[in-house]
Amino acid sequence: MKQSLHLKLGQRLAMTPQLQQAIRLLQLSSLELQQEIQTVLDTNLMIENGPGENDDEAAADYPEGESEAAAPESTTEPAAELDGGEDFDTAWEDPWSQGDDTGGGSAEAWDFNQTPSQDGGELRDHLLWQMRLGHFSESDEAIALAIIDAINEDGYLTESLENLVVEVGPELATEPEEILAVLKRVQGFDPIGIGARDLREALLLQLRALAPSEAHAAAMELVEHHLDLLASRDFATLQRRLKITEEGLCAAIELIQRLNPRPGAQISQKTASYVVPDVIVRRVGKSWRVDLNSETTPRLRINRMYAGLIKRADNSRDNETMRQHLQEARWFLKSLQSRNETLLKVATSIVERQQGFFDHGEEAMQPMVLREIAEAVSMHESTISRVTNQKYMHTPRGIFEFKYFFSSHVATVDGGECSATAIQAMIRKLIAAENPRKPLSDSKLTEMLLAGGINVARRTVAKYREFMSIPPSNERKRLV
């Protein structure tokens, strides 16, 4: 076989470490990005939080001819530096920390979000605390402990009395009647309704703790004997069975609606998680302006002192480590800058195409797909998908995920297009204005949309309604 040389010209995408890092930062949410930045600050000595001044002085510390990989272009990356400065909240002394509070403990140890019923901690600890104050006998305390262990987070007893007999053990020789007696005592604990075996019992326990009245008596009978009729909204049969007027039934139902179907949920240590927007949209004159949220990314810069220690022609291990950290720091800041620029570019393009939404609301939302934004910003659809995932936009109408503004289109009667989000808003508006005594069926909603020029099938209306967690017409029926 004859050997020969050939020249071949081609293109291929090389996934360099810098490109991989940029892609990874691009798909991180604001919370994940903050964690990533903190990790970099902890592991790379060349990056620090700073006011973001120019680092011309640091560049002057390098000998002439120093390679670009070792010397930073500047101490700042414009897109990575966000508004901020001295934390004045921590600069002032906390007046609450000057001494003990009225309870004898420091203010820092007191949780101002804690309610009195949460002093015992989780639900189990809260119930155990009450059990120890209840003067139970040794055998009853063992039974109460087994009952408390069988109560779930919603406050319901998940084991039968027979299973609790086995759980307590043969050494106590208990019977279901003894378990029931202790259960009644546990059901007197706070919160009211705890230890119930089903929804009916939970509601009855709460009703028994209320002052008697005419509505109270009707509510007790309704919950105890006709809860299934209330669930099916059969108000006519309820009036006939309870032998009360429509006003009396309304008062009883209103009383039941004030009860808590999950009594154990009141005692919870779960903290609410808040969405931090990545960009902020505000009106400036007659147009809309998009800005990055300065609170999502701290101001970063390269440490001038450590950067100035790098010497040319010094191949020691410490010097090589600092060179490597400096290069990684510069890559990270550039990737962060690229992320912020891409995020701002995509958000601006979305706002430009959804002017109707910002001016008039959801019903003016335009159909839009990823391809349109990708073409507008000259990026690939996969990049737009990464940018819009878990990224949020703060607007005068609320906080929305970027993906919220993308939706398919439905043809209108006159040959135009309507966004699926706009149709959902129309359905929500029609249902909000319906007669609660005669709710609109999916077929009726379809007819009303068609009269408005929206040609959509009944099954599509049902799908949109279920997507918005709106129950069907038979479950929306009310007396009020």
Q: How far apart are CA 335 and CA 384, in angstroms?
A: 16
Beta-carbon contacts of residue 413 (< 8 Å; ≥ 6 apart): 450, 453, 454, 455
pLDDT at 82: 34
Q: 207 and 181, same structural domain?
A: no
Concatenate the DSSP letters of all residues of 59-80 into one string: HHTSPTT--TTTS-S-SB-TTT
Backbone angles phi, psi at 368, to 5 degrees: -155, 140
The DSSP code sequence of 461-476 is HHHHHHHTTPPPHHHH
For the chain, how are helix, strand and coil distributed in percent, rounded to 5?
50, 10, 40
| Residue 288 reports pLDDT greater than 50 | yes
Q: Measured between alpha carbons, how far is 74 from 425 in angstroms, rounded to an integer?
A: 49
Domain identity same for 364 and 459 = yes
Q: Indicate if the alpha-carbon torsion angle 187, 193, 199, 200 is positive or negative.
A: positive
Higher pLDDT among residues 76 and 466, named by residue: 466
161 and 234 housed in the same domain: no
Are 324 and 356 in the same domain?
no
Helix/strand/coil for 399? strand
Range of the domain at 409: 349-476
Structure tokens at 233: 């909204």
Tokens of 105: 């403990």
Contacts of 112 (CB under 8 A, 6+ apart): none
Place of tokens 């003894």: 178
Q: Which of 88-92, 376-380, 462-466 has the least mean pLDDT?
A: 88-92
Q: Which residue has the higher pLDDT, 109 or 344?
A: 344
Q: Which of 30-39, 107-116, 181-190, 382-391 has the lowest mean pLDDT?
A: 107-116
Inter-residue long-range contacts of 51-55, CB under 8 Å, 24+ positions, other chains counted: 51/85, 51/299, 51/301, 52/76, 52/81, 52/299, 52/300, 52/301, 53/301, 55/301, 55/302, 55/304, 55/307
Report yes or no on 411 lying in a domain: yes
396 and 463 both lie in a single domain:
yes
The answer to whether residue 30 is domain-embedded is: yes
Percent of the chain with pLDDT over 70: 81
* pLDDT for position 319: 81
- Positive or negative, the CA dihedral 228, 230, 236, 242 is positive
State pLDDT tens for residues 426-468: 999 999 998 888 899 999 999 998 888 888 888 989 998 998 9
Q: Does any domain span residue 394?
A: yes
Whether residue 324 sits in one domain with residue 419: no
Which tops the pLDDT comparison, 312 or 380?
A: 380
**What's the residue count for the chain?**
480
Instruction: Provide the total of helices (H) and of strands (E) in the chain, helices listed first.
Output: 22, 8
- Residue 139 predicted with pLDDT over 60: yes
Query: CA 316, 317, 319, 323 torsion: positive or negative?
Result: positive
171 contacts 139 by C-beta, under 8 angstroms: no
Two structure tokens written together for 214 = 């005419």
- Say if residue 300 is in the same domain as residue 398: no
- Among 311, 336, 361, the domain-final residue is 336
Give the CB-side neighbour count of residue 100, counting CA atoms within 13 A: 4
Indicate whether 366 and 438 sit together in one domain: yes
Alpha-carbon torsion angle 243, 246, 248, 253, nearest 10: 110
**455 and 394, same domain (yes or no):** yes
C-alpha span between 397 and 360 (Å, rounded): 10
Specify whether 175 is located in the same domain as 142.
Answer: yes
* Residue 97 located in a structural domain: no
Helix, strand or coil, per DSSP, at residue 426: helix
The enclosing H or E element of 160 equals none
Query: 6 near 367, Cβ under 8 Å?
Result: no
Residues 6+ apart with CB under 8 A from 145: 128, 131
Strand, helix or coil for residue 410: strand
5 in a domain, yes or no? no
| Residue 407 belongs to a domain | yes
* Structural domains counted in the chain: 4
- Confidence grade of residue 13 (pLDDT, cut at 50, 70, 90): low
Shared domain check, 258 and 308: no
Measured CA to CA, the distance from residue 431 to residue 428 in angstroms comes to 5
Same domain, 468 and 353: yes
Strand partners, 399: 394
pLDDT tens by residue, 240-286: 999 999 999 999 999 999 999 999 988 866 666 778 899 999 999 88
Task: Pick left, alpha or beta for residue 311 (phi over 0 → left; psi -120 to 50 → alpha; otherwise beta).
Answer: beta
Q: Which of 314, 336, 358 is the last residue of a domain?
A: 336
Q: Is 113 within the bounds of a domain?
A: no
State if pTM tops 0.85. no
pLDDT given for residue 224 in this prediction: 92
pLDDT band, residue 352 (cuts 50/70/90): very high
Residues 398, 280: Cα–Cα separation, whole Å: 10
Q: Encoding tokens for residue 472?
A: 């069907």
Q: Cβ neighbours of residue 425 under 8 Å, at least 6 residues apart?
A: 361, 362, 363, 365
- Environment class of residue 363 by beta-carbon count within 10 Å: exposed (0-12), middle (13-18) or buried (19+)? middle
Q: Which of 30-34, 120-124, 147-151 has the highest mean pLDDT?
A: 147-151
Residue 256 in any domain: the answer is yes
